[in-house]
């Protein structure tokens, strides 16, 4: 038996699989960790300086953001919750599914009054979710939210 076949020298199958698994996890974490949007989507600074990570507000649903986090005339996409929140006019907040009704891509931006899908160019009205530009033919479904004390939460 040669030295390279000695079981004490060669890594066991379990060791190799574990190492490969750890590498995969690291790759996934690296891929996710580079997005400020992804980081922002699940963590919300609270007024007391603490952070919420998809926690529940008192008696309400998952806290998404503070109202001040949503630009007036724009919006913000919450990747983890698959929701896009918009503020079409000052103090008016809307939320929609971030899954494009054409073929299911995630919308990627809110600009010039529309929620935009990068896959085939569909654009949805940021106030109503209706289709402004196809190929999508169905509006983005509304997502119920509550706005209370400066916080926007998913309705429970």
Size of residue set near ligand FES by CB under 6 A: 12
Least Å from the CB of residue 120 to ligand FES: 3
Place of tokens 């079981």: 7
CA separation for the pair 9, 25 (Å, rounded): 26
Q: Write out the binding residues for ligand FES, residues 73-102 only, by CB under 6 A.
A: 100, 102
Residue 129 Rama label (left phi>0; alpha psi -120 to 50; beta) = left
* Residue from 22, 112, 120, 156 binding ligand FES (CB under 6 A): 120
> How far is the C-alpha of 146 from the C-alpha of 51, rounded, in Å?
19
Contacting range for ligand FES; rule: CB under 6 A; set: 22-30, 63-71, 81-89, 120-128: 120-128
**Residue 106 found at the interface with ligand FES (CB under 6 A):** no
Q: Which residue's CB is nearer to ligand FES, number 91 or number 104?
A: 104
Residues of the shown chain interacting with ligand FES in the complex, contacts defined by CB under 6 A: 100, 102-105, 117, 119-122, 135-136
């Amino acid at each position: 038996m040669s030295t390279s076949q000695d079981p004490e020298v060669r890594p066991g199958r379990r060791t190799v699989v574990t190492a490969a698994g750890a590498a995969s996890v690291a790759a996934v974490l690296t891929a996710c960790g580079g997005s400020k949007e992804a980081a922002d989507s699940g963590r919300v600074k609270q007024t007391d300086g603490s952070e919420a990570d998809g926690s529940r507000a008192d008696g309400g649903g998952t806290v998404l953001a503070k109202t001040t986090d949503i630009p007036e005339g724009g919006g913000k996409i919450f990747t983890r919750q698959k929701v896009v929140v918009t503020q079409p006019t000052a103090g008016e907040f809307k939320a929609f599914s971030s899954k494009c009704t054409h073929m299911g891509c995630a919308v990627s931006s809110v600009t010039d009054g529309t929620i935009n899908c990068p896959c085939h160019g569909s654009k949805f009205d940021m106030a109503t979710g209706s289709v402004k530009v196809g190929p999508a033919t169905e509006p983005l479904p509304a997502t119920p939210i509550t706005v209370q004390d400066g916080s926007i939460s998913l309705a429970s």
